[in-house]
Amino acid sequence: MFNALLLQAAPQPAPGGFGMIMPLVLIVGIMYLFMIRPQQKKQKETQKMLDALKKGDKVVTIGGIHGTVASTKENTVVVKVDDNTKIEFNRTAIATVVVDKPAEEPKAEKKSLFGKKDKKTEETASAAVSETEEK
Read off the pLDDT of residues 56-66 as tens digits, 9 standing for 90 and up. 999 999 999 99
Instruction: Let me know: does 121 contact 112? Beta carbons within 8 Å.
Output: no
Read off the pLDDT of residues 16-42 as tens digits, 9 standing for 90 and up. 667 778 889 999 999 988 999 999 999
Total residue length of the chain? 135
Give the residue from 44, 88, 100, 49 showing the smallest Cα distance to 80. 88
For residue 42, the Cα-to-chain-centroid distance in whole angstroms is 8
**Taking the alpha carbons of 49, 51, 56, 61 in that order, is the dihedral positive or negative?**
positive
SS3 114: coil
